[in-house]
Structure 1
Amino acid sequence: MAELGREDDVLAWCERGIAETQGWQTARLYDLACETHARRGQPLEVLGLRRSEHERMPSLSTYSRLRRAAEAVDAWAIERDAARAVLRERDPRAFVEALLGDGEAQLAWETAQAAEQEQLGSDLWLRLAESRETASPADAVAVYQRAANEVLEKTDRRAYAAAVRILKRARDAAKAADDLESFSQHIATLREQQRRRPTMIAMLDKAGLR
């Protein structure tokens, strides 16, 4: 339809579809409508649609698309707080991810501390720990140690290897925090807990985690 130049028909079709559909189909209709407005040189129409999309089904992706549309008309400073508020209320994980993506590591950390741990997931906590390594390495150590313990709830070589990788990051952060003594105590406790897992103990030995 769009290829035939019937852009008004395309936009009318998208508008009806957006009002009547849900899920991925709706997202595709928003994309098509935005592409059509962009071809027509109507960035404010694109911005309005991206704002509507984000308010309707907020996610990190809709936030990113809204940001790009707003930046195209130098309006992100106006749109940002409302866009974040929607994520904060309806998708805490995406809100923290958005803050990290925006380079606001401190605010992301503070927000994560106020959230339920399970809302964020281990992978995001690891990203948060990485973001804290310079500003507050002790915070990073605590997150890494907790993450390693969670990984070790499984008993296979892949889990052991993942835990060792995380613990090596924890060791580096502990060194930066000038607290290798506490980290060594943690490793001693962990080795005692894992004493019936010779493969894990061997991996700790190989990594110099003693």
Structure 2
Amino acid sequence: MIETGEPEAAVAERRTAFDVQPTIDNFRSLLATVADTDRDAAHTEAALTVVRERAAEQAGYLPHLIDVLILAGRDDEAWHTGLTRWNEIPTQQRVELVELRRRTHPAEVCEPYQALIDAQLLDPYDKRRYDRAITLLRNLREAYVDTGEVTCFEAYLETLRAEHRRRPTFLAKLDDARFQPSR
């Protein structure tokens, strides 16, 4: 419809599709159409309102809300929304939120990282749980380095080793990843 000179109709079509199904893909299409037609950001705000309302009513829309907020550049709102409903979002999205937040607010992610590591280590259905935990540990260490609290990371690592002393495979992976116990 943009090609035929009907930009308002194109935006209206994308907006209707988003209102029916407020997903990240439909939001992306709406943003692209708004940008292509040089329309104002009011459409973006209206779309955000729709997905916020859906997420408040139905937890299934919460991951879409977080994705939409990030795409709209509302990282702080995405972080706070995710934190308040942490257990309602998928693990992978939790990891993505923590990674995004670590870049600008490393002090805020230490506890969420630790929760993710603990959950990963205790997941009996994930054969790669130790590898995933090691990856999270590396990122946690970076957060502690960025905050200047390396000794806090070392203390956490010691506690983690003590708690999982009966998991020799995990301890070996820690050693292989150069997470040596402090002497």
TM over 0.5: yes
State the one-letter code of the partner of 1:40: T
Distance 1:204 1:193 in 2: 13
Equivalent residue for 2:93, pick from 120, 124, 131? 124
Q: Which structure has the larger Rg?
A: 1
Deviation of 1:204 (Å): 0.8
| CA contact 2:121–2:133 (8 Å) conserved in 1 | yes
Aligned pair partner of 1:162 in 110, 132, 135: 132
Q: Give the alignment partner of residue 105 of structure 1, picking from 55, 75, 78.
A: 75
* Between 54-63 and 135-144, the greater mean CA deviation after superposition: 135-144
Deviations 1:114-138 (A, max 9, x none): 3x21222221121221222232112
Moved more, 50-59 or 156-165: 156-165
Give me the whole-angstrom Cα distance separating, in 2, the residues matched to 1:40 and 1:74.
Answer: 15
**Structure with larger RCO (C-alpha < 8 A, sep 6+):** 2
Paired residues of 2:66 and 2:78 also in contact (CA < 8 A): yes
Distance (Å, rounded) in 1 between the aligned partners of 2:80 and 2:40: 23
1:124-175: CA deviation from partner (whole Å, max 9, x where unpaired): 1212212222321122222222111111123465110110011111001111
CA distance, structure 1, for counterparts of residue 16 and residue 101 of structure 2: 34
State how far apart, in whole Å, the 2-side matches of 1:192 and 1:126 are. Answer: 24
| 8 Å Cα contact 2:19-2:50 kept in structure 1 | yes
Pairwise mapping of residues 67-82 of structure 1 onto structure 2 (< 5 A)?
Answer: 67-82=31-46
After superposing on structure 2, the runs of 4+ consecutive aligned residues of structure 1 that deviate more than 4 Å are none
Gaps of 5+ in 1: 1-36
Identity across matched positions, percent:
27
User: How many equivalent residue pairs?
Assistant: 173
Query: What's the TM-score once normalised by structure 1's chain length?
Result: 0.75
- Correspondence 1:23-172 to 2 at 5 A: 37-90=1-54, 91-114=61-84, 116-155=85-124, 158-172=128-142
